[in-house]
């Protein structure tokens, strides 16, 4: 009986151009080359669009840049200036506070919501969609809508407070509340996204584990602590890493701050990323901004390395 | 011989390939020159008065100016609309210049003048203007657009700051136009009476930025302060600074002013005083046009800024100016356009300024000829109040580099909204200004 696969292999070999006198590549070598070729588009893209700009940005930190084409080498001048700049340190403080408040809040709210809507029912499908809905709206629109809701004295929140005889609060105009208001809105905006990630993680946990635990007399809390949380470790690692990086970069909050507070009141919402933006684009201090961005990258890398060390490179054992 | 169809196809394909290659080569090598040539014939003019903007007559004015120029000149002007937010505190203009592709023409306020002048991108417009046209500008208005006697920007408006009040709110508590506050203390006292569960008595800017500084300077001047001595040292640490900072702080501490204005900010009159959110608002002359278009039924009055005890009335006269990019593709044509539009009465520049200040907007003119030519309008209605009472006390908006602006901004913010002691804030800002001024090498700060 003819083997069709062998016939095809034979045909391919016959059709393949041979190089006169050249050594034939082994299958292993050919596979390796094919592998590199598959990876090449990504690698080249990363090199051009990520690696290149990173090196350029790092280099820019050693120059004074006018923003109009003039560059002057200043060595570590920008880094020395950073050490003496109280606003830079203030922006780091704000960023740390922001990260410390946002990341655990997102984790708890995201996981909590995922647990609440994890069973498949029509009602839960609708609720999941509603919770994810803020993600479909532009952050600029989100900022504008919340700004209206939080207006001093006559905004919806303050009117509700007034009905309860509470004093009007300037949610975005008082330095005591502004950052926490921004964090609250960020959690509201992002919770649907993290809920979906946790839902994926929860659905990967075999139902049999819970049944076995129930037979052994475990309650919901024990099941959660002994089964859900340990088996969610990879998902938790992903959520913590992504939300921490996003919080330090301010990538998911920059628009909110730009629209709602402009870094105020009194620099209370001036995250490091916003201060870098101000230095670069409002004050034309591109070199100084690049130096601060480099420091931020180092901080991010340190956090990432720490997370990888704690989780042994993102590998988890459940025993 | 039978020609092989495949070979013929291959030959055709290769001819096509040669042609395509040729076109591609032309595109890569030649088209940039062609497009540069085209670009040199079309000047890009960046501004923020775009179609569908807040006030239709303002967009139309820019369109008319460009059309009028295009009808009579070979090099054309193309208007490019940049949204207000992206223009004033945004990245659009700085990144364009940083990447070497700044517009040929754009508009700037005095607050941004030094950034672009020190960057070497502002074209000297003096050679494009006749002496009479240069002399036509009020010296106090043109001064902060000049360096070493040369003009680098041509203003088309002067925008003095004033106080607006709601007639209905005043009537509600039995006040009339005779009760408008004349001193800072009176202002706070009247504001307190006007404040209720749904309304603030007075509104000042609270968002950090160039505009907040701009609106605060007149109070500093009225108290007798300044930010720089004649010797180029900081003058910010003074009792006058403390007094002006404290005045704004008191308005927040007494809960008669909001910590957050509505709409775009405190420059936006319709969502604030026009909606009844506040009874008095610190805003510029442009609010007349805003209210005329956005709240035509709203009854209001205008009065000049109150003064501190022993202080002298002063206000600030801001306003935007046309500038040309010295590194643009056709700086000569760009300079000619600026001069033609605003600095050449024989080409109709006075009428353009009158139209802008009286029809498109509600502003004071920067030139003597426009003030004279538009007399009928400037001596009517609210513009008359500005002409007779408010404009005479106007001082030009300061031009200062970003680090000085930022130090002052932080002082205002920390005192107004964070309860910091005015004395401490003034001293800290003064130290920062001094540290910067000691190494500053750009054009004079005014």
Q: What is the pLDDT of residues B379-411, one digit of tens each?
A: 889 999 999 999 999 998 999 888 899 999 999
Is B334:B41 a contact under the CB 8 Å cutoff? no
**Set of chain A residues whose Cβ sits within 8 Å of the Cβ of B260:** 147, 151-152, 170, 172-173
Q: Within an 8 Å CB–CB cutoff, is residue A84 touching chain B?
A: no
**Element containing residue B431 per DSSP (H, E):** helix B422-437
φ, ψ for residue B202, nearest 5 deg: -145, 160
Q: Which of A179, A176, A15 is nearest to A100 (CA)?
A: A179
User: What does the alpha-carbon distance between residue A150 and residue A159 come to, in Å, rounded to a whole number?
Assistant: 10
φ, ψ for residue B79, nearest 5 deg: -80, 130
Residue A161: which residues within 8 A CB-CB, separation 6 or more?
A167, A168, A169
Residue B414 to residue A266, Cβ atoms within 8 A: yes
**Mutate which: A65, A154, A258, A273, vs B, most B CBs within 10 A:** A154
**Set of chain B residues whose Cβ sits within 8 Å of the Cβ of A267:** 208, 410, 413-414
Residues in chain A: 319
* Helix pair angle (B422-437, B402-418), 10° resolution: 170
pLDDT of residue B1: 37
| CA of A181 vs chain B CAs: smallest distance (Å) | 14
Long-range contacts of B77-81 (CB under 8 A, 24+ apart): B77/B42, B77/B43, B77/B45, B77/B105, B77/B337, B78/B42, B78/B43, B78/B44, B78/B45, B79/B45, B79/B47, B79/B50, B80/B44, B80/B45, B80/B46, B80/B47, B81/B47, B81/B48, B81/B49, B81/B50, B81/B51
Give tens-digit pLDDT for B286-296: 999 899 989 99
Residue owning tokens 């050249």 = A22
| CA of A110 vs chain B CAs: smallest distance (Å) | 31
Query: Angle A265-A268-A273 (CA atoms, 0-180°, nearest 5)?
Result: 115
**Set of chain A residues whose Cβ sits within 8 Å of the Cβ of B89:** 262, 282
User: What does the alpha-carbon distance between residue A219 and residue A143 come to, in Å, rounded to a whole number?
Assistant: 42
Give the residue ranges of DSSP H helices in chain A. 4-15, 27-46, 52-60, 77-83, 86-116, 122-132, 139-149, 156-163, 178-203, 207-215, 220-223, 229-231, 233-249, 254-260, 272-277, 286-310
Is B161:B218 a contact under the CB 8 Å cutoff? yes
Supply the ipTM of this predicted assembly.
0.82
pLDDT of residue B163: 98
Residues on B contacting A at a C-beta cutoff of 8 Å: 89-91, 94-95, 97-98, 100, 115, 118-121, 197-200, 206-209, 258-260, 262, 277, 402-403, 406, 410, 413-414, 416-418, 420
**Set of chain A residues whose Cβ sits within 8 Å of the Cβ of B100:** 69
Is B42-158+319-396 assigned to CATH 3.40.640.10? no
**Averaged pLDDT for residues B323-348:** 95
Beta-strand pair B146-147/B159-166: unpaired
Tell me how crowded residue B433 is: count the other CB atoms within 10 A of its CB: 27
Fold of A89-310: MetI-like fold (1.10.3720)
Q: Which of B97, B198, B416 sits opposite A67 (nearest CB)?
A: B97
Tell me how crowded residue A167 is: count the other CB atoms within 10 A of its CB: 8
Residue A173 to residue B209, Cβ atoms within 8 A: no
User: What does the alpha-carbon distance between residue B443 and residue B38 come to, in Å, rounded to a whole number?
Assistant: 35
Q: Structure tokens of A174?
A: 């008082």
Helix (H, G, I), strand (E, B) or coil at B106: strand
User: What does the alpha-carbon distance between residue B215 and residue B204 come to, in Å, rounded to a whole number?
Assistant: 8
**Set of chain B residues whose Cβ sits within 8 Å of the Cβ of A175:** 417-418
| Domain map (residue ranges) of chain B | 42-158+319-396, 161-316+400-437
pLDDT of residue A85: 92
Q: Which of A68, A263, A280 sits opposite B120 (nearest CB)?
A: A68
| Domain map (residue ranges) of chain A | 89-310
pLDDT of residue B2: 37
* A-B contacts at Cβ under 8 angstroms: 93
Residue B89 to residue A87, Cβ atoms within 8 A: no
**Mutate which: A87, A90, A284, vs B, most B CBs within 10 A:** A284
Residue B282: pLDDT band with limits 50, 70, 90: very high
Verify cis geometry, omega within 30 degrees of 0, for the bond prior to B238: no
User: What does the alpha-carbon distance between residue A50 and residue A54 come to, in Å, rounded to a whole number?
Assistant: 6
Residue A282 to residue B207, Cβ atoms within 8 A: no
| CA of A62 vs chain B CAs: smallest distance (Å) | 17
pLDDT of residue B262: 94
Q: Locate the chain B residue with the closest alpha carbon to A261.
A: B207
Burial of B68 (0-12, 13-18, 19+ CB in 10 A): middle
Q: Within an 8 Å CB–CB cutoff, is residue A160 touching chain B?
A: no
| CA of B361 vs chain A CAs: smallest distance (Å) | 26
Percent of chain B clearing pLDDT 70 (strictly above): 90
**In this model, does residue B11 exceed pLDDT 50?**
no
Question: Which segments in chain A show pLDDT lower than 70?
Answer: 1-23, 313-319
Residue B324: pLDDT band with limits 50, 70, 90: very high
Percent of chain B clearing pLDDT 90 (strictly above): 72
Residue B24: pLDDT band with limits 50, 70, 90: low
Torsional sign, CA B30, B31, B35, B38 = positive
User: What does the alpha-carbon distance between residue A107 and residue A112 come to, in Å, rounded to a whole number?
Assistant: 8
**Mutate which: A162, A173, A178, A263, vs B, most B CBs within 10 A:** A173
Residue B410 to residue A281, Cβ atoms within 8 A: no
Full DSSP string of B126-175? GGGS-HHHHHHB-HHHHGGGEETTEE--EE--BEEEEEEEEHHHHHHTT-
pLDDT of residue B325: 97
Tell me how crowded residue A226 is: count the other CB atoms within 10 A of its CB: 13
CATH class assigned to B161-316+400-437: alpha beta
| CA of A26 vs chain B CAs: smallest distance (Å) | 34
Give tens-digit pLDDT for B45-97: 999 988 776 678 889 999 999 999 999 999 999 999 998 878 877 788 988 99
Q: Which of A68, A154, A263 sits opposite B277 (nearest CB)?
A: A154
Q: Locate the chain B residue with the closest alpha carbon to A283.
A: B402
Residue A262 to residue B207, Cβ atoms within 8 A: yes
| CA of B175 vs chain A CAs: smallest distance (Å) | 24
| Secondary structure E strands in B309-419 | 315-318, 321-324, 394-396
Residue A289: which residues within 8 A CB-CB, separation 6 or more?
A276, A277, A279, A280
Give the residue ranges of DSSP H helices in B311-380. 331-342, 349-355, 368-373, 375-378
User: What does the alpha-carbon distance between residue A290 and residue A8 come to, in Å, rounded to a whole number?
Assistant: 57
Is A159:A200 a contact under the CB 8 Å cutoff? no
Residue B190: pLDDT band with limits 50, 70, 90: very high
Q: Structure tokens of A96?
A: 């740390």
């Amino acid at each position: 009986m003819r083997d069709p696969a062998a016939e095809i292999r034979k045909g391919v070999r016959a059709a393949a151009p041979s190089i006169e006198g050249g050594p034939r590549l082994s299958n292993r070598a050919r596979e390796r080359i094919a592998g590199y070729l598959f990876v090449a588009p990504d690698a080249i893209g990363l090199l051009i669009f990520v690696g290149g700009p990173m090196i350029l940005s790092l280099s820019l930190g050693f120059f004074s840049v006018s923003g109009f084409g003039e560059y002057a080498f200043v060595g570590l001048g920008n880094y020395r200036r950073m050490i003496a700049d109280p606003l830079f340190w203030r922006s780091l403080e704000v960023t740390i506070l922001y990260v410390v408040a946002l990341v655990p809040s997102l984790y708890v709210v995201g996981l909590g919501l995922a647990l609440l809507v994890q069973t498949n029912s029509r009602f839960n499908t609708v609720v999941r969609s509603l919770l994810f809905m803020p993600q479909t709206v532009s952050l600029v629109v989100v900022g504008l809508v919340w700004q209206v809701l939080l207006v001093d004295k006559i905004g919806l929140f303050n009117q509700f407070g007034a009905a309860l005889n509470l004093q009007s609060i300037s949610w975005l105009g008082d330095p005591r509340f502004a950052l926490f208001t921004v964090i609250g809105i960020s959690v509201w905006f992002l919770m649907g996204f993290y809920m979906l990630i946790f839902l994926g993680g929860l659905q990967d946990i075999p139902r049999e584990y819970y049944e076995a635990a129930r037979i052994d007399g475990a309650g919901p809390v024990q099941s959660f602590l002994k089964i859900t949380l340990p088996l969610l470790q990879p998902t938790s690692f992903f959520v913590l890493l992504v939300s921490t990086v996003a919080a330090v970069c301010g990538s998911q909050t920059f628009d909110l701050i730009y629209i709602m507070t402009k870094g105020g009141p009194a620099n209370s919402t001036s995250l490091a990323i916003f201060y870098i933006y101000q230095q670069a684009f409002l004050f034309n201090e591109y070199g100084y901004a690049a130096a601060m961005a480099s420091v931020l990258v180092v901080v991010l890398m340190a956090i990432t390395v720490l997370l990888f060390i704690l989780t042994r490179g993102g590998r988890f054992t459940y025993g | 011989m039978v020609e092989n169809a495949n070979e013929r196809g291959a030959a055709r394909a290769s001819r096509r390939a040669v042609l395509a290659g040729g076109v591609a080569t032309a595109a890569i090598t030649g088209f940039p020159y062609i497009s540069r040539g085209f670009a040199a014939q079309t000047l890009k003019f960046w501004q923020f008065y775009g179609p569908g903007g807040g006030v239709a007559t303002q967009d139309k004015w820019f369109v008319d100016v460009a059309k009028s120029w295009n009808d009579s000149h070979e090099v054309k002007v193309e208007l490019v609309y940049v949204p207000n937010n992206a223009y004033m505190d945004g990245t659009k203009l700085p990144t364009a210049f940083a990447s070497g592709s700044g517009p040929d023409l754009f508009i700037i306020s005095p607050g941004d003048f030094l950034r672009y002048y020190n960057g070497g991108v502002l074209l000297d417009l003096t050679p494009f203007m006749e002496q009479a046209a240069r002399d036509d500008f009020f010296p106090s208005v043109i001064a902060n657009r000049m360096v070493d006697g040369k003009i680098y920007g041509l203003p088309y408006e002067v925008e003095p700051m004033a106080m607006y009040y709601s007639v209905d709110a005043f009537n509600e508590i039995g006040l009339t136009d005779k009760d408008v506050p004349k001193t800072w203390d009176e202002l706070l006292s009247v504001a307190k009476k006007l404040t209720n569960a749904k309304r603030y008595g007075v509104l000042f800017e609270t968002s950090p930025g160039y505009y907040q500084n701009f609106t605060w300077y007149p109070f500093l001047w009225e108290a007798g302060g300044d930010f720089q001595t004649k010797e180029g040292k900081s003058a910010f640490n003074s009792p006058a600074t403390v007094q002006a900072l404290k005045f704004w702080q008191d308005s927040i501490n007494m809960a008669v002013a909001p910590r957050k204005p509505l709409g775009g900010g405190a420059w936006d009159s319709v969502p604030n005083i026009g909606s009844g959110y506040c009874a008095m608002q610190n805003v510029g002359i442009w609010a007349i046009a805003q209210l005329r278009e956005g709240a035509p039924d709203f009854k209001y009055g205008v009065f000049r800024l109150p003064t501190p005890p022993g202080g002298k009335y002063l206000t600030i006269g801001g306003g935007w100016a046309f500038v040309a990019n010295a590194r643009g593709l056709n700086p000569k044509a760009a300079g000619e356009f600026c001069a033609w539009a605003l600095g050449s009465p024989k080409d109709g520049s006075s009428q353009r300024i009158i139209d802008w200040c009286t029809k498109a907007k509600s502003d004071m003119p920067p030139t003597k000829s426009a003030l004279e030519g538009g007399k009928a309008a400037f001596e009517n209605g609210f513009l008359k109040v500005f002409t007779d009472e408010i404009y005479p006390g106007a001082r030009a908006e300061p031009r200062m580099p970003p680090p000085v602006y930022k130090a002052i901004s932080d002082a205002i913010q920390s005192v107004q909204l964070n309860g910091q002691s005015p004395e401490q804030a003034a001293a800290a800002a003064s130290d920062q200004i001094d540290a910067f001024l000691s190494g500053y090498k750009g054009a004079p700060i005014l």
